[in-house]
Amino acid sequence: MLKPIKTEEEYNEALARVYELMQTDIIEGSASSDELEVLSILVKEYELVHYPVAYPNPLDAIRFRMEQMNLSESELSNILGNRSRKSEILSGKRKLSLSMIRKLTELLNIPAEVLIQVY
């Protein structure tokens, strides 16, 4: 019977069962499929509480997204306003403004929660 995961031992058992289920050919809508789905949700919830993942530094997130999107620093300047502002922001001398955060969220798809952190 499925139940909430409350201990590390239960967590490890759930992970083992998820792995076991994933090694089989599961038919959608079957009892095994439902078990895998519910166990995955329970494992995820346990991990959110016990193994939280910290957000990256806002400047690292911008650099990473630029690399992913193949953006040049001059293209970032167009988003942030001008070249000197871009340099000040990437060096940490200037903080992101609300309008910059909005643009970066919209154009680079960086979550606002990442960009509003103290850095």
- Reported as a single tens digit per residue, the pLDDT across 100-116 is 999 999 999 999 999 99
Q: Is the residue at 1 inside a domain?
A: no
Is there a single domain that holds both residue 68 and residue 28? no
Enclosing domain of residue 90: 58-115
Q: Token digits for 105?
A: 């969220």
Query: pTM of the predicted model, to two decimals?
Result: 0.65
Mean of the per-residue pLDDT values of the chain: 94
Query: Does 13 reside within a domain?
Result: yes
State whether 23 and 62 are in the same domain: no
- Domain count within the chain: 2
Please report which confidence band the pLDDT of residue 119 belongs to, taking 50, 70 and 90 as the band edges. confident
In a domain, 2, yes or no: no
Alpha helices by DSSP H, the chain: 8-22, 31-50, 58-69, 73-80, 83-91, 98-108, 112-115
* Termini Cα distance of the chain: 46
For residue 8, pLDDT over 90 is answered with yes
From 62, 117, 114, select the one nearest 85 (Cα to Cα): 62
